[in-house]
Amino acid sequence: MFLFGEHAVVYGKPGIAMAIKPRVFVTVRNTPRAQKAKSPYIDGCFEAMGVVGSVYINSQIPSSSGLGSSAAVTVATLCAINDEFKMNKTREDIANMAFEIEKTVQKGRASPTDTTVSSYGGIVLISGGSRRRLPPQNMHLVIGDSLVSHSTARMVEQVAELKKKHPEIVDPVMNAIEGVTLAGIHQLSNPRELGRYMNMNHNLLEVLGVGNNQLGKMVLAARSAGAFGAKITGAGGGGSMVALCPKPLKHRVAAAIESCEARAIVTGIDTEGARKEKNV
């Protein structure tokens, strides 16, 4: 889930993202006949690993929610194949393969952000081609799923068109998002200040045209209920927002979000990333 820098990362600006709970559970079995998966991401995983098998997925992350569920499913499926077929791929191999699969399915438009956080867990700074883990923080977060479906590829394209038409407006906004992201790095353990940067990042995303009424209402409701900050997370145009809250207020913020006819998830950081659950 993006904390800062969505859309700007597509143009080589830095972005900060973190792995959140809930997790995605994937079980893979070495079966002689391939079971046709319903998702191009999963088919991509078997193809990339060069094996056939069957797969069972239990995901508590709503798909198309803007929370990086496709990346989480892709990374978990690759890990499960790696384990079942004893392929000895490293975490880095898995992160790289997941990124390539996302990129293919999304027709070239993807940053390695979500696949990196799903693989490694914790908080990751993406900057150009480099990825750096930032010290994990205990954050009290509420995710609001607007229940409005969206397409990341379409939103990315919309921003690209705006940038082409109005570089004199969009380029400084991208620079400002970069500024907010870089400032955020130094305030990760200071939620009051971090919340302020999240609000700024939200407003800049609105300028890019990826907000909508529903997300706007949810962001304002979360702030009114006492959140330190709230913003769209991911591509926007639907999907989700995230609020950073004082611990005692997180349920109040969740209720305020739900009063906007949205689904709220009280959550926190997941520091472990992809892991083998147990032998089943």
Q: Which residues have a Cβ under 8 Å from the Cβ of 62 and sit 6 or more positions away?
A: 69, 145, 263
Nearest residue to the partner ligand MEV, using Cβ: 111
Secondary structure of residue 255 in the 3-state scheme = helix
Shortest Cβ 41–ligand MEV spacing (Å): 14
Which lies closer to ligand MEV via its Cβ, residue 9 or residue 16?
9
Which lies closer to ligand MEV via its Cβ, residue 111 or residue 199?
111
Of 12, 17, 13, the closest CA to residue 242 belongs to 17
Task: Name the residue type at position 79.
Answer: C
Tokens of residue 280, six digits: 């089943």
Give the integer Cα–Cα distance in Å for 240 and 3. Answer: 12
DSSP 40-52: HHHHHHHHHHT--
Which lies closer to ligand MEV via its Cβ, residue 84 or residue 114?
114
DSSP 143-179: EEE------HHHHHHHHHHHHHH-HHHHHHHHHHHHH
Shortest Cβ 66–ligand MEV spacing (Å): 6
DSSP 189-252: T-HHHHHHHHHHHHHHHHHTT---HHHHHHHHHHHHTT-SEEEEESS-SSSEEEEE--GGGHHH
Shortest Cβ 2–ligand MEV spacing (Å): 6
Shortest Cβ 204–ligand MEV spacing (Å): 13
Judged by the rule CB under 6 A, the positions of this chain that interact with ligand MEV are 2, 6-7, 9-10, 66, 110-111, 113, 152, 156, 234-235
The answer to whether 226 and 205 have CB atoms below 8 angstroms apart is no
Which lies closer to ligand MEV via its Cβ, residue 57 or residue 160?
160
The answer to whether 198 and 231 have CB atoms below 8 angstroms apart is yes
Shortest Cβ 55–ligand MEV spacing (Å): 24
Compute φ and ψ for 112, nearest 5 degrees.
-80, 15
Shortest Cβ 263–ligand MEV spacing (Å): 18
Which lies closer to ligand MEV via its Cβ, residue 9 or residue 249?
9
Which lies closer to ligand MEV via its Cβ, residue 75 or residue 156?
156
Catalytic residue positions, numbered: 114
Which helix (H) or strand (E) segment is 100 a member of?
helix 91-105
